[in-house]
Amino acid sequence: ASLGILKEKVPGENRVAIVPEVLPSFLKLGLEVFIESGAGAGAGYFDESYVDKGAKILAHGYDVLKKANIICLIHPPRLEDIAYFSENSILIALLYPLLNLDLVKQIAARNLTAFSLDLIPRISRAQSMDPLSSQSTVSGYKSVILAAHTLPKFLPMLTTPAGTIPPCKVFIIGAGVAGLQAIATARRLGALVEAYDIRPIAKEQVESLGAKFVNLPITAQDVEDRSGYAKAQSETFYSKQRQLIIDQCKKADIVITTALVPGIKAPKLISKEAVENMKPGTVIVDLAAEQGGNCELTVPGKTVVHNHVVIHGPLNLPSSMAPQASLFYAKNIQSFLSLFFKENKLSIHWEDEIIKNTLVVREGKIVHEKVLGALN
């Protein structure tokens, strides 16, 4: 078998799916590795560093698709590129199949097998394979750095001969992987941190990082699905949340929002009214921008200023830390591929729960239940 890595084609994407560091483990499995020239350059991994670890560089992505039978990507391939995949090859990427049904159909028509890493189940054995978590770690960290850079204030408390400065106050909404990393980062910078999540179970994790958990006087019904994701709530519930969050936001210097519900647009938790009640100079970083944003005034991909409050709606923060974000992603793939081999031979463990959950197309047949449901 052979592994192929392409340059990511999404504009502004600096990451690459595989970094040189993980190549030795693939060679040990007897895999040949083909890399499109320049695939890692945006992340600082140049062709030579892949060659040094035993990969072969090919000038064009199409050559890679011809030679390799397992193709690893971060973003879904472009529709027009599917025709160039070798028939019967295997594609591994963050396909978001429910949002990309046309692509899934093309993949099937080309007789490929496709795994989507956004469907990795949240079980402890799968943690090392989960790019949604690894990349959220990067976003959570970077959101605080971005906020700190924008905020015209110190984060830590300072006692100096020229006076004493109080610590800045950070409020984090959504204490999942990104939110917890944001808490840890803000704490390291010396800020006072408060955090809120709809899942009461998050309280303990928030407190273990030295932040205060905010209890809002509303309780969500049926809050969490089997895999630990938050479930959607009624509009009445969200509207109560928006009201209660206003007072929390008034006190903050930085607000970081990370609240997501799988499969639907991000809930709007910060109203225009909340922004208008914030202190001038407050900075919001809306990590849910990709899903439309948690703040009513967020413009995905832009920074807007409303009433002296700065609202960042960054897209793809992991790309801004491409070397290490790519390393995390590559390690996730490395771990996932362990389910593909038996005694150094390609032999996919079809019955494995992780394989079953992520398999979207098997040899030209769409097999994922949710995807089939969406197509009918």
Nearest to residue 17, comparing CAs of 92, 74, 76?
Answer: 74
H helical segments located in 221-321: 235-251, 272-277
With respect to ligand NAD, which residue has the nearer C-beta, 68 or 186? Answer: 186
- Of all residues in the shown chain, the one whose CB is closest to ligand NAD is 176
With respect to ligand NAD, which residue has the nearer C-beta, 31 or 177? Answer: 177
Integer Cα distance of 133 and 315 in angstroms = 16
Our answer to whether residue 225 is catalytic in this structure is no
Q: Three-state DSSP class for 40? A: coil
Integer Cα distance of 62 and 65 in angstroms = 5
With respect to ligand NAD, which residue has the nearer C-beta, 133 or 335? Answer: 133
From the CB of residue 66, how many other CB atoms can be counted at a distance below 10 Å? Answer: 15
With respect to ligand NAD, which residue has the nearer C-beta, 156 or 228? Answer: 228
Count CA within 13 A, CB hemisphere, residue 337: 30
Our answer to whether residue 229 is catalytic in this structure is yes
- Amino acid residing at 157: M
Query: Residues 247-286 vs ligand NAD: string with x where CB under 6 A?
Result: -----------xxxxx----x-x-----------------
Using CB under 6 A as the binding criterion, the count of chain residues that bind ligand NAD stands at: 32
Per DSSP bridges, beta strands 192-196 and 169-173 are: parallel
With respect to ligand NAD, which residue has the nearer C-beta, 151 or 177? Answer: 177
Our answer to whether residue 233 is catalytic in this structure is no
Nearest to residue 209, comparing CAs of 234, 180, 244, 231?
Answer: 180
The answer for residues whose C-beta is within 8 angstroms of residue 168's C-beta and 6 or more apart is 151, 153, 154, 155, 191, 192, 253, 254
With respect to ligand NAD, which residue has the nearer C-beta, 267 or 318? Answer: 267
Our answer to whether residue 25 is catalytic in this structure is no
Distance set, CA 191 to CA 56, 165, 210, 297 (Å): 48, 12, 10, 25
Closest approach of ligand NAD to the CB of residue 41, in Å: 30
Catalytic one of 15, 45, 50, 130: 130
Query: Residues 198-237 vs ligand NAD: string with x where CB under 6 A?
Result: xx--x-------------------------xxx-------
Integer Cα distance of 190 and 26 in angstroms = 42
Pick from 127, 219, 307, 338 the residue near ligand NAD by CB under 6 A.
Answer: 127
Integer Cα distance of 275 and 281 in angstroms = 11
Catalytic one of 106, 116, 133, 248: 133
Query: Residues 284-323 vs ligand NAD: string with x where CB under 6 A?
Result: ----------------------------------------
The one segment of 34-42, 170-178, 316-324, 363-371 that binds ligand NAD by CB under 6 A: 170-178
Integer Cα distance of 292 and 290 in angstroms = 6
Catalytic one of 52, 78, 127, 225: 127
Closest approach of ligand NAD to the CB of residue 176, in Å: 2
Pick from 97, 174, 293, 318 the residue near ligand NAD by CB under 6 A.
Answer: 174
Q: Which residues bind ligand NAD (CB under 6 A)?
A: 122-124, 126-127, 130, 132-133, 136, 173-179, 196-199, 202, 228-230, 241, 258-262, 267, 269
Active-site positions? Answer: 122, 127, 130, 133, 229
